[in-house]
């Protein structure tokens, strides 16, 4: 596997592989940012359509650029080489060996197993290659699909930020999930 800053990292999963975003993925990220269904589930802010030009600048200058604390990956279908979504490790704390992850699959590609495989592949990379000790994720309580992805992979519910989000005329909790390296590498608890 190439260095994490080489720009040509490619991490194989089963259904998908993960790779660093480049200029060619701007339209994927624009589609993700323009998908009101995705934004409903993954953003605190109400959906606002972003102009393409503004987005391209943001993408090239910030979103695409990996740094010490943020590692973005495009999720690509292994058979067709079609980009179907994104995953990332954010708030990467190298001193304490933890991070938070985020993940999105374009609405038209959902419910085919891509989300689970992409997150599983990301966790393998973060635990085995980057040697992290803990990974967290935050989801709103109404986000059934994300909760399933996390719970199926062994994340546990660690806490609740009560009434965090005001959406659709009511308040919703934000749930904090986490998983430790020891549980990922040894899921049955056997030595």
Ligand X SMILES: CC(C)(COP(=O)(O)OP(=O)(O)OC[C@H]1O[C@@H](n2cnc3c(N)ncnc32)[C@H](O)[C@@H]1OP(=O)(O)O)[C@@H](O)C(=O)NCCC(=O)NCCS
Interacting span for ligand X (CB under 6 A) from 57-65, 109-117, 154-162, 183-191:
109-117
Among 94, 112, 163, 167, binds ligand X (CB under 6 A): 112
Interacting span for ligand X (CB under 6 A) from 51-59, 66-74, 99-107, 175-183:
99-107
Residue 88 phi, psi (nearest 5) = -155, 155
Nearer of residues 8 and 157 to ligand X, judged by Cβ: 157
- Closest separation in Å from C-beta 137 to ligand X: 6
Among 4, 31, 41, 180, binds ligand X (CB under 6 A): 41
Among 66, 83, 102, 136, binds ligand X (CB under 6 A): 102
Contact predicate 92/129, CB 8 Å: no
- Closest separation in Å from C-beta 38 to ligand X: 5
Instruction: Scan residues 140-169 and list those touching ligand X (CB under 6 A).
Output: 143-146, 148-149, 152
- Closest separation in Å from C-beta 36 to ligand X: 11
Interacting span for ligand X (CB under 6 A) from 23-31, 35-43, 89-97, 173-181:
35-43
DSSP labels for the chain? ---TTSS--EEE-SSEEEE---GGGHHHHHHHHT-HHHHHHH-SSPP-PPPHHHHHHHIIIIIT--BTTBEEEEEEETTT--EEEEEEEEEEETTTTEEEEEEEE-GGG-SSSHHHHHHHHHHHIIIIIS--SEEEEEEETT-HHHHHHHHHTT-EEEEEEEEEEEETTEEEEEEEEEEEHHHHHSTT---
Q: Rule CB under 6 A: which residues touch ligand X?
A: 38, 41-42, 102-105, 110-116, 139, 143-146, 148-149, 152
């Amino acid at each position: 596997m190439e260095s994490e800053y080489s720009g040509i990292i490619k991490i194989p999963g089963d259904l998908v592989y993960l790779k660093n975003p480049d200029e060619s993925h701007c339209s994927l990220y624009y589609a993700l940012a323009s998908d009101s269904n995705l934004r409903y589930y993954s953003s605190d802010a109400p959906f606002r359509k972003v102009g393409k030009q503004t987005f391209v600048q943001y993408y090239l200058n910030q979103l695409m650029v990996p740094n010490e604390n943020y590692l973005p990956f495009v999720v690509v279908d292994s058979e067709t080489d079609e980009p179907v979504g994104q995953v990332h490790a954010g708030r990467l704390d190298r001193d304490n060996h933890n991070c938070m992850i985020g993940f999105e699959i374009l609405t038209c590609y959902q419910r085919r197993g891509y989300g689970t495989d992409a997150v599983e592949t990301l966790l393998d990379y973060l635990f085995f290659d980057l040697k992290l000790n803990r990974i967290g994720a935050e989801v709103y309580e109404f986000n059934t699909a994300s909760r399933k992805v996390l719970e199926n992979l062994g994340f546990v519910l660690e806490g609740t930020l009560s009434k965090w989000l005001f959406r659709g005329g009511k308040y919703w909790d934000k749930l904090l999930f986490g998983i430790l390296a020891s549980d990922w590498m040894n899921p049955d608890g056997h030595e």
